[in-house]
Structure 1
Amino acid sequence: MKRILGFIIICGLVLVGCSHKESNGTIQHDNSSRFVEEVLAKENEWKESEYFTSENLSFIGEPQLLGFTHSKEGKIVVSKTGKYGWHFWGESVKTGKFLSVKGTNQITHKEIELVTDAKLLGANSGADNHAPTNMTFPKGGMWKLDAYIDGKLFGSVYVKVEN
């Protein structure tokens, strides 16, 4: 009986702690709702990367660092394999190294391997190096794509995947 009473008291305190008060038409949130708001704000920080061109090709990524071929008008669609040329700028990216790309979905936070061991083939379209790849996304929404060259993180690209 003491356990049940203790459980009821704890549940009541939790419910009171999660409530909000209304005063003079304004809502005052407690600390737990502020924490939820902070988490949601961080989730909303994921924004699609910049679109740019290099030698008449359209890219998404970070100009003069990395990107892959994709136009603003084009769509990346769930479960549809697309061909994408990853391009890299900078002398540190050497021909013969290998690219891997890990993607993380914004909602699920599940990380998957999108590209494994794509060989860098040299200069192309104004970039110092490039690698042709295929990518397939299993779920829609925003994705963070981390590009690794020989196991070292080179940079990240954020893309929107349509259902």
Structure 2
Amino acid sequence: MKKILGVVICGLIIVGCSHKESKDIIEQDSQILAIAKEVAWEESSHFTSENLSLIGKPQLLGFTHNEGENIVANKTGKYGWHFWGDSVKTGDFLIVKGTHQLTHIEMELVTNAKLIGPNGGADNHAPTNMTFPQGGMWKLDAYIDGRLVDSVYVKVQT
């Protein structure tokens, strides 16, 4: 009986240690992956929809921006955000949070812009103004009624 109890205790210790080591490895891998994603920030794709030139992800989201034109820091620009899909409804509200790659400062660039219907082949859109306080790479997270739709990456010139 003591032998069986000893074997069971040793087994539990081995399983417990293995589980902890596996969990540590998974956490380390997740941290490495998160760091790699941070390092690999690249400007999003440019695409066209009907007569509009946009940057973002075709058939999901994007905002008006001509390829080859610069987005300039501290200069307010007019941008139409466009969305595709049934989950985005007219009357919903858009918030865009921007994060600077190097400083990791996050700020709200668009606050409660109302979606006003189809435009340029998109199912819905919202006219907005955005001002970036500094140059560099920015990740723009687009939220519709508090739900993250996706992110767009842009280069901002000084």
TM-score, structure 2 as length reference: 0.77
Equivalent pairs: percent with the same residue? 72
Task: Find out whether 1:133 has 2:116 as its counterpart.
Answer: no
Task: Find out whether 1:54 has 2:83 as its counterpart.
Answer: no
Indicate the residue corresponding to 1:77 in structure 2: 72
Match of 1:95 among 90, 93, 109: 90
Match of 1:65 among 45, 60, 63: 60
Indicate the residue corresponding to 2:15 in structure 1: none
Indicate the residue corresponding to 2:142 in structure 1: 147
Offset, 1:42: 4.2
The number of aligned residues is: 127
Detail structure 1 runs of 4+ shifted over 6 Å in the superposition.
Answer: 37-40
State how far apart, in whole Å, the 2-side matches of 1:107 and 1:46 are: 11
Could you tell me which runs of 5 or more consecutive residues in structure 2 were left unpaired when the two chains were aligned: 1-31
The amino acid of 1:74's aligned partner reads E
The amino acid of 1:135's aligned partner reads M
Change (3 A) 1:87 1:140: same
Offset, 1:108: 0.4
Larger helix proportion of the pair: 2
Give the match's secondary structure for 2:46: strand
Change (3 A) 1:149 1:56: same
Aligned-pair Cα RMSD in Å: 1.6
